[in-house]
Amino acid sequence: MTMTIWQGVITVAVVAFGTILTRFLPFIVFPESKEPPRVIDYLGSVLPYAMTGLLVVYALRNTPILTGSHGIPELIACAVIVLLHWWKRNMLLSIASGTIVYMLLVQLVF
């Protein structure tokens, strides 16, 4: 760690506060006594699906497409996860297999 202990503690505290804020904000803006507008219900029903899509892109955002391995290990590991999950629908199995395949590929092949 390049930071001092206290700088690290402050960083963690600030991240925790930011996270807590995102969780509490809707409940602060729309308190128990008030009925939220209809549009908020609509957004709450469609956004979770879009957010997971964003997280997948976010997790893969630094994949080197034009250089190095050209993202081939990521592509193979993701394909393994998709096929395995489609077949077995076992969350833990899909995650563990995909990760092990990826680790083998980046350590031994690429």
Partner 1 sequence: MRVKALKAAFPLTVPICMGFLFLGASYGMLMGTKGFSFVWPMCMSAFIFAGSMEFVTVNLLLSAFNPLAAFLLALMVNARHLFYGLSMLSKFKGLGWKRPYLIYGMCDETFAINSSARIPQDVDRGWFYLWVTLFNQSYWVVGATVGGLIGSHLQFNTEGLEFVLTALFLVIFLDQWLGGKHHERLSAVIGVLASLICLVIFGADDFMIPALVAMLVLFMALRPYLDTLKPETQTETDDTVINHTEAHQQ
Residues 9-48 that bind partner 1 (CB under 8 A): 10-27, 30, 32, 35-36, 38-48
* Locus of tokens 């690290």: 8
Q: Which residue has the tokens 């990760």?
A: 99
Q: Are 99 and 78 in contact (CB under 8 A)?
A: no
Minimum separation from the CB atom of position 67 to partner 1 (A): 13
CA distance linking residue 98 with residue 108, whole number of Å: 15
For partner 1 (CB under 8 A), the number of binding residues is 73
Tokens of 35: 């009925």
Q: One symbol per residue from 51 to 90: x for binding partner 1 (CB under 8 A), - otherwise; what is it?
A: xxxxxxxxxxxx----------xx--xx--xx--xx--x-
In the complex with partner 1, which residue's Cβ is closer, 14 or 70?
Answer: 14
